[in-house]
Amino acid sequence: MVQIDRPRVVPQSIDRTDRHLILGAGFVGLGMAQALQAAGIAYDQVDASDQIGGNWYHGVYQTAHIISSKKVTQFTHFPMPEDYPDFPSAAQMRDYLNAFADRFDLRSAIELNRTVSEVRPIENNHWQVTFADGEQRIYKGVLLCNGHHWDKRFPQFQGEFKGEMIHSKDYKHPDQLRGKRVLVIGGGNSACDIAAEAARVGAKSVLSLRESVWFLPKTFAGSPITDLIQGWMPESLQRLLAYGIVRLTFGRHEDYGLAQPTYRIFEKHPTLNNEVPYYIQHGRIQPKPAIRQLSGDQVEFVDESCEAFDLIVCATGFYVSYPFLPPALQRTEGAIVQCYGGSFLDDYRGIYYIGWGQARGGVGSLISAYGPFFARCLKLQDEINVPIGLVLKEMGQALPQTHLSDPHAIFRQLKVSNWGFGWLKRKAHQVDRHYPNFQNLPLLSTHDPHLVH
Ligand SMILES: Cc1cc2nc3c(=O)[nH]c(=O)nc-3n(C[C@H](O)[C@H](O)[C@H](O)COP(=O)(O)OP(=O)(O)OC[C@H]3O[C@@H](n4cnc5c(N)ncnc54)[C@H](O)[C@@H]3O)c2cc1C
């Protein structure tokens, strides 16, 4: 009997090459969806979760309030409700994002419970997207809006702790702290919120700071400080204003038993928190230096003090991660994605890294400004073969040096870029003529050999 080899069954890819895919329907993904919709650019949108809203639906603790004000955090073209406070809660943020999706009729393009497991470039400058259930689709391009507050970064410790140790991402409700001796590690916004909550409901709250941080008050003279900083102020003046506000509100670090920070305000993502200085002065939060080692329920600090804890919360940040991309498209160095113009690669067209930066302001006003510019770039990308990132590079743009930014500087840059878009367009066509044979380099699947063409 003759054996006939059956052809291997390769999953049929669904052709969506007339459109882009927006990966993620959190704050950024929703904002970008609306920008594409307004520009008449076709797209699909997916999210792994069962509801839209990202972090504000499933990622933050129940008691979280934004630290940037309502004014800078809302989408400029969709203000938050009048009756919202200056610093809305997580639930209000979630409701606001849902209202945004309804107002702009974004839901019909969103598929929920759709986890993307792989995105890879294939021939003809197309992108193959594979979902967790095995479905495959081919897109013109993919906007990566998967957020950067989910891939937990844990510190390394000597010794073992026999109590409970969690990441700030796993902290959801004050009951997790109630009656416990809590040690919070970190000096960022989540660390401060959790240490303050532990001061209210825990048996003890200790905040371990590897290095001293600048605490900025959330408000000054009745106004959110993010609203006091004006667009015309150069960063040096913003810094001067911030130093003045800190000094007038809190005084000196030594008044709290803290060392003077060794960096200048804004050289790190700012910690906006009134409660930690307040609770330190009430003896409800005890600041401590870095941890030397763990042993049983004991934690030894580098100042040789030693204390017992039930719970350690590591509020030690996150990695910026794109687990669904092949190694060649892993462009993150530290917290910085090596791309031009905030999103664009110089060697691949059709893949866009969006929302990975840490601007000092709120996310909504930034996306409101960036979305329309990005949409113009997408339209321009359709006119040329080379990646927009290559055009920006050839125009002399440098790769980013930091993930931190002054939102007002971004607003100014975007204004200039929009104003000079005609020039960018001419330059893009010039660069395009220099590289008539540009093609994305197809990459093999890193997950499943059956997916390889
Ligand atoms: C405690 C805390 C306080 C904050 N306070 C502020 C503040 O005051 N002001 C401010 O502007 N920002 C604040 N942020 C930052 C916050 O992350 C942003 O406001 C905003 O949520 C970022 O939106 P995003 O869409 O980039 O990410 P996310 O909100 O994380 O949304 C990303 C979405 O992508 C989806 N996704 C991820 N991977 C996949 C996949 N493989 N397949 C399909 N879907 C996927 C996720 O399900 C998620 O819905 C805070 C963050 C935290 C944690």
Residue 408, φ and ψ in degrees, nearest 5:
-70, -35
What was the pLDDT predicted at 448?
52
The rounded Å distance from CA 91 to ligand 1 centre is: 14
**14-150+319-451 and 154-315: identical CATH topology:** yes
User: Atom 49 (ligand 1): residue with closest C-alpha?
Assistant: 54
Q: Which fold has domain 14-150+319-451?
A: FAD/NAD(P)-binding domain (3.50.50)
Q: Does domain 154-315 have CATH number 3.50.50.60?
A: yes
User: Atom 16 (ligand 1): residue with closest C-alpha?
Assistant: 55
Q: Where are the domains of the chain?
A: 14-150+319-451, 154-315
pTM to 2 decimal places: 0.95
CB 420 within 8 A of CB 453: no
For residues 358 and 190, give the distance between their C-alpha atoms in angstroms, rounded to a whole number. 15
What was the pLDDT predicted at 359?
85
User: Atom 50 (ligand 1): residue with closest C-alpha?
Assistant: 66
pLDDT along the chain (453 residues), means of 10: 44 92 98 98 98 97 96 98 98 98 98 98 97 98 97 96 98 98 97 98 98 96 93 92 96 94 94 97 98 98 98 98 98 97 98 94 96 98 98 96 92 96 98 96 74 39
What was the pLDDT predicted at 22?
99
For residues 106 and 52, give the distance between their C-alpha atoms in angstroms, rounded to a whole number. 10
Query: Two tokens at 253?
Result: 């670090």
Helices (H), 74-186: 90-103
The rounded Å distance from CA 394 to ligand 1 centre is: 32
**pLDDT (tens digit, 9 = 90+) per residue, 370-409?**
999 999 999 999 999 999 999 999 999 999 999 998 999 9
Check if 68 has its Cβ closer than 6 Å to any atom of ligand 1.
yes
CB 147 within 8 A of CB 28: yes
